Structure 1
Amino acid sequence: MDQAHDPAKRFDRKRFLRIGGIGAAASIVAPAATAHAAPAAPESTLVFNVKDFGARGDGSFDDTPGIAAAVKAAAGGGTVYFPPGDFQVKGEILIQADNIVLRGAGWASRLTQTDTGVAGKAILRFANATGVAVRELSFTGRGTEHVVLDGNRKYNGVAAVRFDKCTNVTVSGCRIARHAGGGIRWTGSLRGALFADNTITGIGIANGSDPGPIGAKDNNNDFAIGQWESSPNDNIVIRGNTISGHCFGIGSGHGNGLVISDNVIHDIPGQHGMYLSAPGGAQISGNVIRKVALNCVNVQIASSVQEDVSSLVVSDNVLYDAAAGVVLNIASEVPKAGFRQPVIVGNSVRAVREYGIAVNRTWNGSIIGNTVSGTGAYGLLLNGFSGTVRDNTVQNTNWNGLYVDLIGDTYSSDNVFTDCAMNTTNATAADRLAFYVNAVKTDPEITPQPVLHSDSDLLHAASPEPSTLRKCLHSSAGTGVFLRGLVNRTSKPWEFKGELLHLDFAYSRTADFSDSAHLFPSTPVHGRGRRELYGLRDPKTAGMAGSFQPGDTCWHARPTAGGTPGWICVAAGEPGEWKAMAPLAV
């Protein structure tokens, strides 16, 4: 194994040369405290070697009693040390002591589960403990414990490490493999935890005699790191882990102070890369998530926790090869709760089968600086939204680049939409999916009229444009639209069934509004709203091709005193009828 990736190579074995029998002392340097979660207590100078209590570590002996005896001896506060070896564990080792550390000599210290009848338990289970840690150990499960219920595979095997109602815990530098019941799990509330720099591989990747792979959409308790329950949690940091092969990557119930950063999650064959249930104050940043059966990041307000989610930040993640990138979801049984002021910024989402970024019932959200490329459906799906959509790049979407169901004013600015609505032929209600930008209002009780403010957005289509593209922008009845500084480089017109409040293109290849009835003549419209060009002759005399509308203007490129300043289109056509403006005064 490469030295840079083997904790055993990095571990300072000199610290353990003086380890002897019961009560033998060694000088052990305390670990640095994390800035985010409360750390476990510093390691004691009292070190208890499991081999001194009867464990052999030879791979052929039941080492459970010896390990349990060492744990009991260290219960007053000490370090249980596993030297290099293969330690067999039958059943579960229960630890109910505070301020205890279990440490190996890197991944060369291996704990292997041998019992097939311990479904739902763990190799190491801490109960009602505080200030405990597991470091630099390797865990191996049997990888075969599962039953089939209700058409879904339910993997109910052992976990590697489990915490029941614990506080201030750490698991770091461990390797965990073939555990059908998950890697690092907890039940009840967990308050203060650091799970860092672990490598966790489940049974979902076929390996030798393993039964994998887990079926797509299998829904069970198999989390690499996390829990299924809705118990509140506080100050949990999950950082720098590499995860694969589990039904879920990382999961957590509701709570505050959740930080998930710099993890690599890949090959999740059952459900989501991350599944979080109504977390408050959560930060998800710098993760790489790929090859996931469902969503890379799924944050849900479930029926068990019907409360608003606030202070959620999803930033600078790389997400690809999944059903969707970032999804803020609300269970159908939740009538009112939603997301307040979430920030989704700087993420890269590509090659997803459905949505790039999808949010539901979101007030004052910020969708900023994301790149979305290659979606089977929407690029940005904002289903019940108010807030800011700024500086995003969305390209190669089969449906709308931006779909926003307005529940309040929404500000769209400096976004680039390229090659959207590429394939809507097989979609339900294909006409509503065939726009670059689609602003709708579906809740009749939303008052006052919500407005989409679009400023300096760029809409660009490749040549040739897809035949599925119907209109560049569409707005439904009940909405207001304020457009300024737009660059429309598609050849498609706009369609306003909502109220057009302002229109001022920076550039547009077309001045066709599709249907003048959609302009609502009683509405004051400010801005140019018509095509402008320059030339020495009017378009008809010049033999120009293209469709023009009344009000389009061609300015004289070299105006002179006594000559016309330009021409105005007075009848639609290709290129239509044009009249010269009154001559300039001499």
Structure 2
Amino acid sequence: MDYNVKDFGALGDGVSDDRVAIQAAIDAAHAAGGGTVYLPPGEYRVSAAGEPSDGCLTLRDNVYLAGAGMGQTVIKLVDGSAQKITGIVRSPFGEETSNFGMRDLTLDGNRANTVDKVDGWFNGYAPGQPGADRNVTIERVEVREMSGYGFDPHEQTINLVLRDSVAHHNGLDGFVADYQIGGTFENNVAYANDRHGFNIVTSTNDFVMRNNVAYGNGGNGLVVQRGSENLAHPENILIDGGSYYDNGLEGVLVKMSNNVTVQNADIHGNGSSGVRVYGAQGVQILGNQIHDNAKTAVAPEVLLQSYDDTLGVSGNYYTTLNTRVEGNTITGSANSTYGVQERNDGTDFSSLVGNTINGVQEAAHLYGPNSTVSGTVSAPPQGTDLE
């Protein structure tokens, strides 16, 4: 059943605070067992509901928020908001919520006219607790002008699908996947965010990134990383297709993670390396076009190195092991040093197989005593024998 927010008093005139009316429609749908809450074209201003964890609008089991399309239906934070808001739209804190989501609308954080950290979408149970949200679907949603994160599914969600959406001009990351289990991000675009385009973090596992694009972000195009807490590392992550270009740091960074595959992507024009593997194990870099990186710093196109966290929260040294670099076409820029460089820091058991490497000072430079190169490269690497 559909619930039109205008039947509950929402105006969508770009001036009135419609938060109470929209929430009333959501609550009515929930009380009836579920449904779609529809926002016709217009700009719906909303204010904070109370505490940061209350956000502005709270979705519940079996309730979906739907608009008339990105840019046609806009939910925008009111001018002068001066408190932290963990999700303009979110699930309830500390409640396991399932079968809900949002589609065909824009969230606008009104960054220029508000104060404190504001996130666009947020869902999840509670930090450090065993509960989880389940079966979340977000489609064709634009999130812009947040002072914090664009999309921030968080603290254990099982089976979230986020597709055909856009995050841009946000103060932190465009898209976050924080403790996501079995979910998918596909056909999304992140651009002009102040930090990373996509940030896959904090125990996320069995997760697929397919045909996403990140460009012009201040940090990395895409990062897979453990984060600052001493938790299980992200693992079993597939990054398939898409493009990562013109970002301030690396195109793709894999840090303190296990069994990550990056394949069939176009990675170019980034400030530092195209791909950097940093304290990770079992990473595969397969069939990518990696070219013309190192735009703002002298760097290899692909960098393999270990991560020293002995003074960090874990107290461990994370050695990069068992990286496979196979079937890639790697072409350097004027600042590129090597096609593939392995640092002399314990990194080992790297396998370079059948790559085409051109336009660099040296094709490969490997220090690991068990690392090998085979197949066609443009120049003999130092310290190894071509087979």
| TM-score normalised according to structure 2 size | 0.81
Tell me by how many angstroms 1:250 deviates: 0.8
Which is higher, the Rg of structure 1 or of structure 2?
1
Q: Which residue of 1 aligns with 2:357?
A: 394
Matched to 2:109, the amino acid is: G
Q: CA deviation at 1:291?
A: 0.9
| Pairing 1:315-326 to 2, within 5 Å after superposition | 315-322=263-270, 323-326=272-275
Pair 1:405-2:367 in alignment? yes
Q: Which amino acid aligns with 1:57?
A: G
Instruction: Quote the residue 1:28 is aligned against.
Output: none
1:351 aligns with 2:292: yes
Map 1:234-245; keep pairs closer than 5 Å: 234-245=181-192
Question: Aligned equivalents of 1:355 and 1:178: distance in 2?
Answer: 34
Query: In structure 2, what is the equivalent of residue 258 of structure 1?
Result: 207
* Structure 1 residue 84: Cα displacement: 1.0
After TM superposition, the structure 1 = structure 2 runs for residues 24-423 of structure 1, keeping only pairs within 5 Å, are: 46-75=1-30, 76-91=33-48, 92-95=55-58, 97-107=60-70, 108-114=72-78, 115-127=80-92, 128=95, 129-144=97-112, 157-165=117-125, 166-203=133-170, 222-226=172-176, 232-246=179-193, 247-253=195-201, 254-269=203-218, 271-277=219-225, 278-301=233-256, 309-310=258-259, 312-322=260-270, 323-330=272-279, 338-340=280-282, 342-353=283-294, 354-360=299-305, 361-375=319-333, 376=335, 377-383=337-343, 384-398=347-361, 400-408=362-370, 410-417=371-378
Per the alignment, residue 209 of structure 1 pairs with none
Q: Does the 8 A contact of 2:98 with 2:134 survive in 1?
A: yes
CA contact (8 A) 1:119 1:145 kept: no
Say if 1:145 and 1:157, in contact at 8 Å, map to a contact too. Answer: no
Find the aligned partners of 1:371 and 1:146 in 2 and give their Cα distance: 46
CA–CA distance in 2 between the matches of 1:243 and 1:194? Answer: 16
The aligned counterpart of 1:23 is none
Residue type matched to 1:390 in 2?
A: V
Deviation at residue 387 of structure 1 after TM alignment: 4.3
The CA distance in 2 between the partners of 1:89 and 1:48, in whole Å, is: 18
1:554 alignment partner in structure 2? none
Offset, 1:187: 2.8
Is the contact between residue 144 and residue 157 of structure 1 (CA under 8 Å) also seen in structure 2?
no
User: What does the per-residue CA deviation read over 1:308-341, in whole Å, with 9 as the maximum and x for residues that have no partner?
Assistant: 612x2110111111111111112xxxxxxx403x
Letter in 2 for 1:78: G
The answer to whether the 8 Å contact 2:301/2:339 transfers is yes
**Cα distance in 2 for residues equivalent to 1:93 and 1:73:** 17
Q: CA RMSD in A?
A: 2.0
SS of the residue corresponding to residue 223 of structure 1 reads coil
1:146 shift after superposition: 8.6
Post-superposition offset of 1:122: 2.0
Paired AA for residue 189 in structure 2: T
The structural deviation recorded for 1:186 is 2.6
Once residues 53 and 146 of structure 1 are traced to their aligned partners in structure 2, the CA distance between those partners, rounded to angstroms, is: 27
- Say which SS state the counterpart of residue 454 (structure 1) adopts: coil
Q: CA deviation at 1:118?
A: 3.0
Task: Give, as a single letter, the amino acid of the residue that structure 2 aligns with 1:223.
Answer: D
The secondary structure found in structure 2 opposite 1:97 is coil
Which structure exhibits the higher relative contact order, with contacts defined as CA atoms closer than 8 Å and separated by 6 or more residues? 2
Does the residue aligned with 1:238 lie in a helix, a strand or coil? strand
Distance 1:235 1:182 in 2: 22
Q: 1:405 to 1:195 in 2, by over 3 A?
A: same
**Percent of pairs with identical residues:** 24
Q: Residue 67 of structure 1: SS of its match in structure 2?
A: helix
Q: Name the amino acid aligned to 2:162.
A: F
Aligned pair count reads 335
Residues 178, 201 of structure 1: 8 Å contact kept: yes
| Partner SS for 2:27 | helix
Q: Which amino acid aligns with 2:365?
A: Y
Amino acid aligned to 1:324: S
What is residue 230 of structure 2 aligned with on the other side?
Answer: none
Change (3 A) 1:386 1:191: same
CA distance in 2, matches of 1:276, 1:407: 27
Q: Which ranges in structure 2 are unaligned for 5 or more consecutive residues? A: 49-54, 126-132, 226-232, 306-318
- Cα distance per residue 1:466-505 (max 9 Å; x no partner): xxxxxxxxxxxxxxxxxxxxxxxxxxxxxxxxxxxxxxxx
AA aligned opposite 2:63: I
Deviation at 1:265, TM superposition (A): 0.9
In the alignment, the residues of structure 2 paired with residue 327 and residue 188 of structure 1 have an alpha-carbon distance, to the nearest angstrom, of 26
Distance apart, 1:372 and its partner CA = 1.4
Distance 1:85 1:203 in 2: 22
2: CA distance between counterparts of 1:90 and 1:364? 50
Specify the code of the residue in structure 2 equivalent to 1:142.
N
Separation in 1 of the partners of 2:200 and 2:135? 16
User: 2:103, 2:109 → 1: CA distance?
Assistant: 18
After TM superposition, give the deviation of residue 101 of structure 1 in Å.
0.6
Tell me, in whole angstroms, the C-alpha distance in 2 between the residues paired with 1:175 and 1:288: 19
Unmatched segments (≥5 aa) in structure 1: 1-45, 148-155, 205-221, 302-307, 331-337, 419-435, 440-451, 456-586
Report the TM-score, using the length of structure 1 for normalisation.
Answer: 0.55
Deviation at 1:144, TM superposition (A): 3.0
